[in-house]
Amino acid sequence: MHITNLHTHTIYCDGKNSPEEMVLAALEKNFHSIGISSHGPVDEETDWNIKKDKIEEYIEEVTALKYKYKDKINVFLGMEMDYIPGIGFSDISRSLINRLDYYIGSVHYLGKLKNGSMWTVDYTMEELIKGIEESFQGNIRKAVETYYETISEMAYKFQPPIIGHFDLFKKNNKNNILFNENEPWYIEAVENCLGIIKNTSSAIEINTGGIARGFTKEQYPSTFILELIREINIPVIINTDAHSVEGLDCGLNEMYMLLNKLGFESLTYLTKDGFKMQNLNVSGEINKRL
Ligand SMILES: [Zn+2]
Ligand SMILES: [Zn+2]
Look up the CATH number of the domain holding residue 237: 3.20.20.140
Distance 137 CA to ligand 2 centre (A): 29
Residue 279: inside a domain: yes
Distance 245 CA to ligand 2 centre (A): 14
Distance 8 CA to ligand 2 centre (A): 7
Asked if residue 34 has pLDDT above 90, the reply is yes
Cα 54 to Cα 25: distance, rounded to the nearest angstrom: 23
Full-model pTM: 0.96
Q: Identify whether the C-beta of residue 216 lies closer than 8 Å to the C-beta of residue 170.
A: yes
- Please give all residues whose CB falls under 5 A of ion ligand 2, grouped by chain where several chains appear: 80, 241
Q: Identify whether the C-beta of residue 168 lies closer than 8 Å to the C-beta of residue 121.
A: yes
pLDDT-based confidence at residue 290 (cuts at 50, 70, 90): very low
Residue 13: inside a domain: no
- What is the percent of the chain with per-residue pLDDT over 70, rounded to a whole number? 97
| Closest ligand by atom to 164 CA | 1
User: pLDDT of 151-173, one tens digit each?
Assistant: 999 999 999 999 999 999 999 99
Residue 178: inside a domain: yes
Q: Identify whether the C-beta of residue 220 lies closer than 8 Å to the C-beta of residue 210.
A: yes
Count of all residues that appear for the chain in the document: 290
Q: Note the pLDDT of residue 56.
A: 98
Cα distances from 9 to residues 27, 52, 109, 246, 254, in angstroms, run 17, 16, 18, 12, 21
Distance 207 CA to ligand 2 centre (A): 9
Q: Note the pLDDT of residue 211.
A: 87
Least confident interval from 8-12, 78-82, 211-215:
211-215
Distance 45 CA to ligand 1 centre (A): 16
Residue 11: inside a domain: no
Residue 47: inside a domain: yes
Residue 81: inside a domain: yes
Asked if residue 212 has pLDDT above 90, the reply is no
Q: Note the pLDDT of residue 286.
A: 55
Task: Kindly tell me the burial class for residue 252, based on how many C-beta atoms sit within 10 Å of its own C-beta (0-12, 13-18, 19 or more).
Answer: buried
Cα 164 to Cα 204: distance, rounded to the nearest angstrom: 7
Distance 150 CA to ligand 2 centre (A): 18
Q: How many independent structural domains does the chain possess?
A: 1
Residue 3: inside a domain: no
Distance 65 CA to ligand 2 centre (A): 20
pLDDT-based confidence at residue 264 (cuts at 50, 70, 90): very high
Average pLDDT along the chain: 95
Residue 226: inside a domain: yes
Q: Which of 136, 221, 131, 105 shows the shortest CA–CA distance to 171? A: 221
Q: Where in the sequence is the domain holding 37, given as residue range(s)?
A: 19-289
